[in-house]
Amino acid sequence: MKKALRVSGLNVTLSGRRILENISFDVEEGKILGIVGPNGGGKTTLLKAILGLVSYEGEISIFGFSPAEARKRGIVGYLPQRSLFDPDFPLKAKDVVALGMVKGWFGKLPSDWKERVEHYLKLVNMEEWKDYPFGKLSGGQQQRVSIARVLAGEPQIVFLDEPNTGVDVVAQEDFYQLLTKLNRELNLTIVMVSHDIGVISSYIHEVACLNRVLHYHGAPVCLTQPEILKKVYGPAADRVLVHDEKCENCGYPDISGGK
């Protein structure tokens, strides 16, 4: 299988402080990787390094390209950590999606942009809302339109930074199901940061537990191994353990909620 992402010996230092230390992991094409860890653990910084937005030491390769080259080729989609939109934000849902097709500051829209916008809005079940002001949509709806915008750039791999902040539980489940659909139908590789390990474990193929160093990378059912959580979360580990049913795959307590 093709490697979508390869990170090797990655170090990031910001303002003289080592934020990420010797991080190495791979993601194969078509997989969904969840990145979990405490606040301040370096999750956003890791995504920024992979996107070439902060300087780093070590090697990063995205489908064989450097971060800068991969972005230039449009292979990479990025949804930054969400900030709630002002309800007076003037763009309609369809305009937000169209923005995802603009290449560079002075880029032009493709001639078939309207059809393509409809296609991507349909993919995220938001076609009926195309003329609605983006800022007046619910958090979950804004999130779907934002995903449509990222998809409109036709990426092969997308990076989502805590896409569920400020979104209610039902919309979160719907969102994870949407990601699963996009992953299967488009063979889209997805790297998603979340602090919600109880919910995401049933929707991801692999998990990376990050707190300055990478404490674990592997099957998500093993997320509840107390020794791993203690290393990643410290004394807060007890609070992230969800329940204690045995997982049939690995024998460790299962946090997937029986799905």
Ligand X SMILES: Nc1ncnc2c1ncn2[C@@H]1O[C@H](COP(=O)(O)OP(=O)(O)O)[C@@H](O)[C@H]1O
Question: Contact residues for ligand X (CB under 6 A)?
Answer: 14-15, 17, 19, 37, 39-45
* Strand pairing report for 245-246 and 32-36: unpaired
The entry of Mg ion, ligand X, none that residue 155 binds, CB within 5 to 8 Å by partner kind: none
Answer with the entry of Mg ion, ligand X, none that 39 interacts with (C-beta below 5 to 8 A by kind).
ligand X
The one of Mg ion, ligand X, none whose footprint includes residue 19, by CB under 5 to 8 A per kind, is ligand X
Q: Which amino acid is at 46?
A: L
- Integer Cα distance of 181 and 159 in angstroms: 16
Residue with structure tokens 């059809």?
115
Site map (CB under 5 A) of Mg ion, residues 44-83, x = contact = x---------------------------------------
Q: Which does 15 bind (CB under 5 to 8 A by kind): ligand X, Mg ion, none?
A: ligand X
**DSSP-assigned letters across all residues of 232-245:** HHGGGHHHH----E
Q: By C-beta, is 70 or 209 nearer to ligand X?
A: 209
Question: Cβ closer to Mg ion: 53 or 102?
Answer: 53
Measured from the CB of residue 223, what is the shortest distance to ligand X in angstroms?
Answer: 17
> Radius of gyration of the chain from Cα atoms?
19
Q: Which partner in Mg ion, ligand X, none is near 42 (CB below 5 to 8 A by kind)?
A: ligand X
- The span of 35-43, 178-186, 208-216, 241-249 binding Mg ion (CB under 5 A) equals 35-43
Q: How far apart are the first and last CA of the chain?
A: 27
Q: In terms of C-beta density within 10 A (0-12 exposed, 13-18 middle, 19 or more buried), how is residue 239 classed? A: exposed
Phi, psi of 201 (to 5 degrees): -60, -25
Residues found near Mg ion in the complex (CB under 5 A)? 43-44
